């Protein structure tokens, strides 16, 4: 049984609860979990839960038949997001850890770190103490290896995670590692769990090869009960009758554990399958099943590896895997986590102090109410904890960024079903001091949302943004009698229904809105039908905007600082034959790919057009800059709206 105490509980009421439970035969433990204080009560005592819930200072009571409490979702319904330095694991992100099985030399860990960092890993793994099946196998470099790994992590700006094999070593390793790994063989080494838990550092807890999910969660309970708050669970394959692969990845453990526990769950495909060629497909399956991340063995020369070479990916394979994950992320409603590089000097990247100086305390603006798709995009780009500024129109987002009340803004520019959001393209012309610093693609799943009790037959009116109607065209054609009412955005349409309240007695609700699930949740409304967009491959591309300082807009540090791979340009051309062709030829000759070309009428100049062009930036230095110079001389009103990093996929 778990009691969650109210945050304002007085010491007296807290003592009364202790006495109450003690007198009725319960053993109690008090614990801080996230920002809540909870009491776990076990024993043979009998108590009326409703009565318990009425005691002063008790916020919530849950009876649990589960043997674990602190890890349970009943105790803490929301996802725990584990923080390891600049890295977050859990929530709306996919975090990838990579590195060799074992640290073999300084050069090896440095080279691996450089390669995996370049491909997008956010943490470095590597064993300094290796628990090997054979006593004659390489046992690791010990503390020396850990020192090398710490140096590699610092050089490449990645927190490190390494396995700890004994309580005594845990104390020595504490200041050298950012996260402890408890290996599969030690999952039930309870003295180790207690010691490591008490050190308070983040812990990656592998599932034992023969452990049930419940045993695994009980081991996590040991860690939380001993004092750490940051535990990540790692499924790494279990022992079954199958011998083709090293272990059998229990993919169903991912959704099962995510429903039972609030802790993030990642997957180790390398130890699960033990065969290099099978690692990437299994890793992708884990992401599809809802894993919050991966830990993958990568070695610059797997054939020479001192341990687990046959399952270690070549750096090129790892790079490809991350590209595939990036492409898949919007489908599972997540973003591949990127973190800032340690040093600047990469062009656009700047230190957080620039944003503090701007004085807006890091607010990011979006148009719409809570639950809007733009807010989802914002959370995906900046994290759950980002402070948000909700404004009522797209131009208000630009205004907020310009006047400094927000350090950045998030606006949609195009949808894969309904096309461009022209208003935002036009706004870039009205706000020349604002540039594009990033983009992301959000998968849009539309729902028909109404007050409880509504049926498809009772609806007469549907409210949404014109894009919402356009993206659900086929569904709406099945209901030709419905009136459509246009709103500034989808979440505002949902809010209007919530504000109008429930239908008069004896009548059924007549109004519905088309918006996302988050908006229905935000306003406590009911989803009549989900997935009503014409095609499930429905994505909206959002751009992140910031105020320019000089010629470029600084990238908010939380967006990461991957090298720009895309640029958005705008220009007009003279009204002469071949003018546009000449521009395209410049781009084509430099082998630059155009990913989008759009023309918009120039206001006040009938029949004259501006061209908006998105191009991919080639890797060869100087090529892009030379093409831009040539274009500038061939065009009028030439502007680079921004060059930025665009994730793959969507
Ligand atoms: C490891 O990750 O280095 C390792 C030894 O894995 P496991 O404990 O899952 O076998
Ligand atoms: Mn290994």
DSSP-derived secondary structure for 58-83: EEEEE---SS--TTBTTT--SPP-EE
Centre of ligand 1 to C-alpha 183, Å, is 5
| CB 184 near ligand 1, within 6 Å | yes
Higher local confidence (pLDDT), 82 or 645: 82
| CB 246 near ligand 1, within 6 Å | no
Take atom 3 of ligand 1 and give the residue whose Cα is closest.
Answer: 101
Q: Which atom from ligand 1 is nearest to the alpha carbon of 127? A: 3
pLDDT at position 43? 78
Q: What is the overall mean pLDDT for the chain?
A: 91
Centre of ligand 2 to C-alpha 100, Å, is 8
Edge-to-edge strand list for the sheet holding 636-644: 594-601, 609-616, 566-572, 636-644
Centre of ligand 2 to C-alpha 463, Å, is 55
395 pLDDT more than 80: yes
Pocket test for ligand 1, best of 181, 189, 203, 209 (most atoms within 8 A of CB): 181
- Angstrom CA distances, 97 to 162, 226, 336, stand at 11, 25, 12
- Mind listing the pLDDT tens digit for each residue in 476-486? 999 999 999 99
Say which ligand is closest to the CA of 162. 1
**392/394 Cα distance (integer angstroms):** 7
| CB 249 near ligand 1, within 6 Å | no
Say which ligand is closest to the CA of 101. 2
pLDDT at position 339? 78
Say which ligand is closest to the CA of 187. 1
| CB 261 near ligand 1, within 6 Å | no
Centre of ligand 2 to C-alpha 82, Å, is 23
Take atom 5 of ligand 1 and give the residue whose Cα is closest.
Answer: 183
Q: Which atom from ligand 1 is nearest to the alpha carbon of 207? A: 9
- With respect to CATH, is domain 2-62 assigned 3.30.70.1140? yes
Q: Which atom from ligand 1 is nearest to the alpha carbon of 308? A: 3
pLDDT at position 360? 45
| CB 104 near ligand 1, within 6 Å | no
Binning pLDDT at 50, 70 and 90, where does residue 561 land? low
Centre of ligand 2 to C-alpha 236, Å, is 11
| CB 236 near ligand 1, within 6 Å | yes
For 564, half-sphere exposure in the C-beta direction (CA atoms, 13 angstrom radius) is: 26
Say which ligand is closest to the CA of 307. 2
Q: Give the contacts of 375 (CB within 8 A, at least 6 positions apart).
A: 366, 368, 388, 390, 491, 518
Domain ranges of the chain: 2-62, 92-336, 447-530, 562-650
Mean pLDDT, residues 502-521 = 94
Take atom 9 of ligand 1 and give the residue whose Cα is closest.
Answer: 184
Give the closest residue to 573 by CA, choosing from 562, 565, 581, 564: 581
Q: Please give, one letter per residue, the 3-state secondary structure of 17-45.
A: HHHHHHHCCEEEEEEEECCEEEEEEEECC
Pocket test for ligand 1, best of 184, 188, 306 (most atoms within 8 A of CB): 184
450 pLDDT more than 50: yes
Q: Please give, one letter per residue, the 3-state secondary structure of 511-534.
A: EEEEECHHHHHHCCCEEEEECCCC
pLDDT at position 648? 67
- Mind listing the pLDDT tens digit for each residue in 38-90? 888 877 778 888 888 899 999 988 877 788 999 999 989 999 999 999 999 99
Take atom 4 of ligand 1 and give the residue whose Cα is closest.
Answer: 183
Domain 92-336: give its CATH superfamily: Aldolase class I (3.20.20.70)
Looking at the chain, how many residues does it have? 650
**196/327 Cα distance (integer angstroms):** 37
Pocket test for ligand 1, best of 104, 163, 179, 239 (most atoms within 8 A of CB): 163
State the distance between the two ends of the chain, measured CA to CA, in whole angstroms: 44
**295/204 Cα distance (integer angstroms):** 10
Mean pLDDT, residues 18-34 = 87
pLDDT at position 209? 97
Take atom 10 of ligand 1 and give the residue whose Cα is closest.
Answer: 184
355 pLDDT more than 80: no
Contact between 76 and 15 under an 8 Å Cβ cutoff? The reply is no
Binning pLDDT at 50, 70 and 90, where does residue 131 land? confident
Say which ligand is closest to the CA of 233. 1
Mean pLDDT, residues 509-534 = 96
DSSP 8-class letter at 121? -
Q: Give the contacts of 92 (CB within 8 A, at least 6 positions apart).
A: 333, 334, 335, 379, 380, 383, 384
- Mind listing the pLDDT tens digit for each residue in 7-18? 889 999 999 999
Centre of ligand 1 to C-alpha 143, Å, is 18
Q: Give the contacts of 62 (CB within 8 A, at least 6 positions apart).
A: 1, 2, 4, 74, 75
Centre of ligand 2 to C-alpha 93, Å, is 25
DSSP-derived secondary structure for 123-176: EEE-BSS---SSTTS----THHHHHHHHHHHHHHT--EEEE--SHHHHHHHTTT
pLDDT at position 356? 31
Binning pLDDT at 50, 70 and 90, where does residue 349 land? very low
Q: Give the contacts of 633 (CB within 8 A, at least 6 positions apart).
A: none
Contact between 471 and 448 under an 8 Å Cβ cutoff? The reply is no
Mean pLDDT, residues 143-160 = 97
DSSP 8-class letter at 536? S
Higher local confidence (pLDDT), 476 or 549: 476
Contact between 24 and 64 under an 8 Å Cβ cutoff? The reply is no
DSSP 8-class letter at 261? B
* CA max distance for the chain: 93
For 39, half-sphere exposure in the C-beta direction (CA atoms, 13 angstrom radius) is: 25
Give percent of the chain above pLDDT 90. Answer: 76
Same fold, 2-62 and 562-650: yes
DSSP 8-class letter at 419? E
Active site residues: 540, 542
Q: Which atom from ligand 1 is nearest to the alpha carbon of 130? A: 5
DSSP H or E segment with residue 96? strand 93-99
Write down the architecture of domain 447-530 according to CATH.
3-Layer(aba) Sandwich (3.40)
| CB 159 near ligand 1, within 6 Å | no
Give how far the C-alpha of residue 50 lies from the chain's centroid of Cα atoms, to the nearest Å. 38
Centre of ligand 2 to C-alpha 294, Å, is 14
**578/534 Cα distance (integer angstroms):** 38
- Mind listing the pLDDT tens digit for each residue in 222-241? 999 999 999 999 999 999 99
Which stretches does DSSP call E strand in 444-564? 447-450, 461-464, 483-486, 511-515, 526-530, 539-547
Q: Which atom from ligand 1 is nearest to the alpha carbon of 295? A: 2
| CB 271 near ligand 1, within 6 Å | yes
Mean pLDDT, residues 614-640 = 92
pLDDT at position 557? 65
Partners of 615 in beta bridges: 567, 594
347 pLDDT more than 80: no
Q: Which atom from ligand 1 is nearest to the alpha carbon of 236? A: 9
Domain 562-650: give its CATH superfamily: ACT domain (3.30.70.260)
- Mind listing the pLDDT tens digit for each residue in 569-621? 999 998 889 999 999 999 999 999 999 999 998 888 888 889 999 999 998 98
Higher local confidence (pLDDT), 338 or 378: 378
Q: Which atom from ligand 1 is nearest to the alpha carbon of 234? A: 9
Virtual torsion, Cα 478, 368, 414, 524, nearest 10 deg: -40
Say which ligand is closest to the CA of 127. 1
**379/503 Cα distance (integer angstroms):** 33
- Mind listing the pLDDT tens digit for each residue in 269-325? 999 999 999 999 999 999 999 999 999 999 999 999 999 999 999 999 999 999 999
| CB 126 near ligand 1, within 6 Å | no
Note if the pTM is more than 0.85: no
Take atom 6 of ligand 1 and give the residue whose Cα is closest.
Answer: 183
**205/218 Cα distance (integer angstroms):** 11
Instruction: Report H helices in 329-369.
Output: 353-358
Q: Tell me the backbone φ, ψ of residue 580, rounded to 5 degrees.
A: -70, -35
Q: Give the contacts of 44 (CB within 8 A, at least 6 positions apart).
A: 25
Centre of ligand 1 to C-alpha 184, Å, is 6
Centre of ligand 1 to C-alpha 494, Å, is 48
| CB 206 near ligand 1, within 6 Å | yes
Q: Are strands 408-415 and 419-420 parallel, antiparallel or unpaired?
A: antiparallel
Q: Give the contacts of 154 (CB within 8 A, at least 6 positions apart).
A: 342
Helix 143-156 vs helix 106-119: angle between axes, to the nearest 10 degrees? 30
117 pLDDT more than 60: yes
């Amino acid at each position: 049984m778990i009691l969650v105490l109210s945050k304002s509980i007085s010491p007296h009421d807290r003592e009364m609860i202790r006495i109450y439970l003690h007198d009725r035969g319960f053993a109690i433990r008090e614990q801080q979990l996230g920002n809540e204080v909870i009491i776990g009560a076990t024993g043979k005592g009998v108590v009326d839960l409703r009565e318990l819930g009425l005691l002063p200072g008790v916020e919530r009571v849950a009876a649990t038949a589960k043997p674990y409490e602190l890890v349970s979702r009943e105790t803490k319904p929301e996802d725990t997001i584990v923080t390891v330095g600049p890295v977050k694991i859990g929530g709306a992100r996919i975090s990838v850890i990579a590195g060799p099985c074992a640290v073999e030399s300084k050069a090896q860990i440095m080279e691996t770190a450089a390669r995996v960092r370049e491909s997008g890993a956010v943490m470095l793994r590597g064993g300094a103490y290796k628990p090997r099946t054979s006593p004659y196998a390489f046992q690791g470099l010990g503390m020396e290896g850990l020192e090398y790994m710490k140096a590699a992590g610092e050089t490449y700006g990645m927190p490190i995670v390494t396995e700890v094999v004994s309580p005594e070593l845990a104390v020595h390793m504490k200041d050298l590692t950012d996260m402890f790994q408890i290996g599969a063989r030690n999952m039930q080494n309870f003295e180790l769990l207690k010691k490591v838990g008490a050190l308070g550092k983040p812990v990656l807890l592998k599932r034992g090869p023969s452990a049930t999910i419940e045993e695994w969660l009980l081991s996590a309970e040991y860690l939380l009960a001993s004092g750490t708050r940051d535990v990540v669970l790692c499924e790494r394959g279990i022992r079954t009758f199958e011998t083709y692969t090293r272990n059998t990845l229990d993919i169903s453990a991912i959704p099962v554990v995510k429903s039972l526990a609030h802790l993030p769950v990642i997957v180790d495909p390398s130890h699960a399958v033990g065969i290099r060629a099978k690692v990437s497909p299994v890793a992708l399956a884990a992401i599809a099943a809802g894993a919050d991340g991966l830990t993958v063995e990568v070695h610059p020369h797997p054939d020479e590896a001192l341990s687990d070479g046959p399952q270690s990916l070549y750096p090129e394979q790892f790079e490809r895997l991350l590209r595939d994950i990036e492409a898949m992320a919007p489908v599972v409603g997540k973003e591949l986590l990127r973190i800032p590089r340690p040093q600047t000097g990469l062009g656009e990247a700047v230190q957080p102090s620039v944003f503090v100086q701007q004085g807006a305390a890091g607010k990011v603006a979006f148009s719409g109410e809570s639950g809007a798709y733009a807010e989802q995009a914002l959370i995906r780009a900046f994290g759950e904890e980002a402070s948000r500024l909700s404004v009522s129109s797209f131009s208000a987002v630009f205004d907020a960024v310009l006047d400094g009340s927000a350090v950045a803004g998030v606006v949609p520019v195009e949808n894969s079903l309904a096309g461009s959001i022209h208003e935002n393209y036009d706004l870039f012309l009205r706000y020349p001091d604002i540039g594009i610093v990033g983009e992301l693609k959000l998968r849009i799943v539309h729902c028909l949302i109404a007050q409880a009790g509504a049926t498809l037959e009772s609806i007469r009116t549907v409210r949404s943004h014109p894009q919402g109607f356009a993206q659900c065209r086929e569904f709406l054609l099945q209901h030709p009698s419905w009136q459509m009412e246009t709103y500034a955005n989808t979440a505002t349409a949902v809010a209007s229904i919530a504000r109008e309240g429930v239908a008069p007695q004896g009548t059924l609700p007549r109004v519905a809105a088309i918006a996302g699930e988050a908006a229905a949740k935000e306003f406590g409304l009911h989803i009549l039908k989900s997935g009503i967009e014409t095609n499930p491959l429905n994505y909206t591309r959002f751009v992140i905007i910031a105020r320019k300082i000089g010629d470029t807009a600084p990238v908010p540090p939380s967006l990461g600082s991957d090298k720009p791979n895309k640029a958005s340009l705008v220009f007009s051309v003279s009204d002469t034959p071949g003018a546009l062709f000449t521009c395209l030829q410049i781009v084509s000759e430099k082998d630059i790919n155009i990913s989008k070309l759009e023309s918009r009428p120039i206001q006040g100049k009938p029949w004259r057009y501006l061209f908006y062009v998105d191009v991919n930036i080639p890797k060869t230095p100087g090529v892009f800059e030379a093409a831009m110079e040539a274009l500038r001389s061939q065009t009028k009103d030439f502007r680079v709206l921004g060059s930025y990093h665009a994730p793959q996929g969507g």
